[in-house]
Structure 1
Amino acid sequence: MSELVISHKNIIDKDTRRLISDRYHRVTKAINTVFWNINSDSKNSLYVGSYGRDTAISTSDVDILVVLPRSKYDQFNLHKGNVQSQLLQAVKNAIETQYPRSEIRADGQVIKINFFDNIKFEILPAFRKIDFFGNPLEGYDYPNTNMGGNWEATNPKAEQKAMRDKNNNTNGLYRDTCRHIRYIRDTYFSSYHLSGIVIDSFVYDAIGDWKYVENSESTAKKGDYEKRLLNYFIQINTLGRVNLSSPGSNQSVETMNSIACLEKVLTKMAI
């Protein structure tokens, strides 16, 4: 039997959200104290990833971007060796001042914190982009320690705005679909990989003109929407390759490791 889209509102309860908020502010304060020399628990940070896009249904990964002074970017670039790894280590040391007993490690682009209650944070240190004259631009540069180290770009605010607008224009169907796909993934295909940004980017394109309407206004049959999603996937799937760009930022999304699971999930929803 097909698993049709249903609402998954408030799936992360208020007490958990309150706990996440408390830890978010403590991490932010640690970064501001060490890198900005200010005593603020709110400046220079934002939720990103699925939690920041409000499409998450679990706390397996709460992603936070922390903004560092651009002068630190120039400073670390003068170092020898893998400067991105050195930067992650410095941010890790700052966070350990707030959570000395938690499991904290640097991994690739982020610092991971595994709390005793299975809530996991991933902290992405980043620098606001600037133009040739030092004026701030939209988006951020962040470190990738892999392959000897390099800098990559992200624009989470543009993504969040695009997805928020899409959700408003579909009367909430966009987020319900993104959350439902996560629910099917976690319930039936948990051994497979399917990233949140692949889900959210795919639904953004696949949803087309669909939206929630009053029953008296609808001409669709039960299951038509889910079949639309599967058919769209089949249409854009070329020999196991699907090209997606993140909404708002238009940055290319890595899909290779997620396609098999996405197809299974969409099939489970539609057939």
Structure 2
Amino acid sequence: MDTVSKHNNSIDLDTRKLISCRYKSITKAVNQEFWNSSSETEHSLYVGSYGRGTATKSSDLDVLLSLPQGEYKRYDAYKGNGQSRLLQAVKNAVGRAYSRTNVHADGQVVVVQFSDSMRFELLPAFKQTDWNGRTSFIYPDSNMGGNWKPADPKAEQEAMRVKNSESNGLLFDTCKHIRLIHSSRFSSYELSGIVIDSFVYSTMGAWHWAESGISSSPDGEYERMLYSTFNSRSMNGLFSFSLSAPGSQQTVNVEKSLSCLGKVLKYMAE
């Protein structure tokens, strides 16, 4: 049994400073290329686990890079996978700033793999505003000939923030704890961060940390509940179940992560 602890797996200050430095440098390189601007912060947003507040020191850093609408029209007009060409353009812009770093396009993102194992995944995207004034994004997917996919990271971040507050921090602590076990014991298996966050968000119900920070429930009861719910929803791993991302309600692909999630939850509960 490996139970969740309070304030679990915080990222140390030095690592946060390094993340911020690299984030600003990447943002500036893309802004110079696409916005004729040297800003280190405009048109970019932390997304993924770091943006949702559930990252650990070993997590990838996901950054959404908002590009001008004219670039969308330009690359959408290509007859042969304009999405791939857009990713290459972003890769080239970042590569000029990090000429000695491994920078490459990978399906939907541009990956910046630093020699110290820190990994940024850059998601070029275009802002969309609906009739109600709500802002979301679309991003390129270069697979299967190329297409555009929707993303609403701000809605996800807000939903996670509210639920974490209601649970006195238990939501974030649980998601981080699962990540820690994955990286330390099951790293050879794939387990997506959005799968972790969406599962815990949808499963934990009214569970929360007591104000004292000490659980009033029997040791391991919460972890057994998570594992039991996983088994009931996945038919003991034989069939995948559906998950929706918090806030955005977009469908989450669980196919490659289901097996590992079950292993981690079992390790926590037994």
- The aligned runs of 1:248-259 (5 Å cut-off) are 248-259=247-258
- The aligned runs of 1:161-172 (5 Å cut-off) are 161-172=158-169
Shift, 1:160, TM fit: 0.5
Tell me what 1:75 maps to.
Answer: 74
Q: 2:8, 2:177 within 8 Å by CA — same for their partners in 1?
A: no
- The aligned runs of 1:80-229 (5 Å cut-off) are 80-131=79-130, 137-214=134-211, 219-229=216-226
In 2: Cα distance, 1:184 partner to 1:254 partner? 21
Q: 1:5, 1:176 within 8 Å by CA — same for their partners in 2?
A: yes
Tell me what 1:25 maps to.
Answer: 24
Q: Structure 2: which 5+ runs fail to align? A: none
Deviates more, 1:20-29 or 1:70-79: 70-79
Give the % identical residues.
51
Deviates more, 1:65-74 or 1:186-195: 186-195
Tell me what 1:267 maps to.
Answer: 266
Cα shift readout 1:2-60 (whole Å, capped 9, x = no counterpart) = 11111354532111110110110011111111111122111000111111112111244
Tell me what 1:235 maps to.
Answer: 232
Q: 1:128, 1:136 within 8 Å by CA — same for their partners in 2?
A: no
Cα shift readout 1:201-222 (whole Å, capped 9, x = no counterpart) = 0000111110011469965211
Q: Structure 1: which 5+ runs fail to align? A: none
Q: 2:54, 2:172 within 8 Å by CA — same for their partners in 1?
A: yes
Q: Which amino acid aligns with 1:84?
A: Q
* Partner secondary structure for residue 97 of structure 1: helix
In 2: Cα distance, 1:47 partner to 1:101 partner? 24
Superposed CA RMSD in Å reads 1.8
Q: Which amino acid aligns with 1:178?
A: C
Shift, 1:131, TM fit: 4.5
In 2: Cα distance, 1:177 partner to 1:231 partner? 16
Q: 2:109, 2:124 within 8 Å by CA — same for their partners in 1?
A: yes
Q: 2:140, 2:149 within 8 Å by CA — same for their partners in 1?
A: yes
Q: 2:138, 2:150 within 8 Å by CA — same for their partners in 1?
A: yes
In 2: Cα distance, 1:55 partner to 1:219 partner? 24
**TM-score with structure 1 setting the length:** 0.94
Q: 1:68, 1:126 within 8 Å by CA — same for their partners in 2?
A: yes
Shift, 1:80, TM fit: 2.6
Tell me what 1:14 maps to.
Answer: 13
Shift, 1:234, TM fit: 1.7
* Partner secondary structure for residue 97 of structure 2: coil
Structure 1 residues 136, 92: closer, same or farther in 2, change over 3 A?
farther
Q: Which amino acid aligns with 1:225?
A: Y
Structure 1 residues 114, 216: closer, same or farther in 2, change over 3 A?
closer
In 2: Cα distance, 1:28 partner to 1:219 partner? 45
Tell me what 2:60 maps to.
Answer: 61
Shift, 1:71, TM fit: 1.2
Q: 1:62, 1:122 within 8 Å by CA — same for their partners in 2?
A: yes
Q: 1:129, 1:139 within 8 Å by CA — same for their partners in 2?
A: yes
Shift, 1:79, TM fit: 2.1
4+ residue segments displaced more than 6 Å: none
* Partner secondary structure for residue 84 of structure 1: helix
Q: 1:240, 1:259 within 8 Å by CA — same for their partners in 2?
A: no
Shift, 1:130, TM fit: 3.6
Structure 1 residues 10, 233: closer, same or farther in 2, change over 3 A?
closer
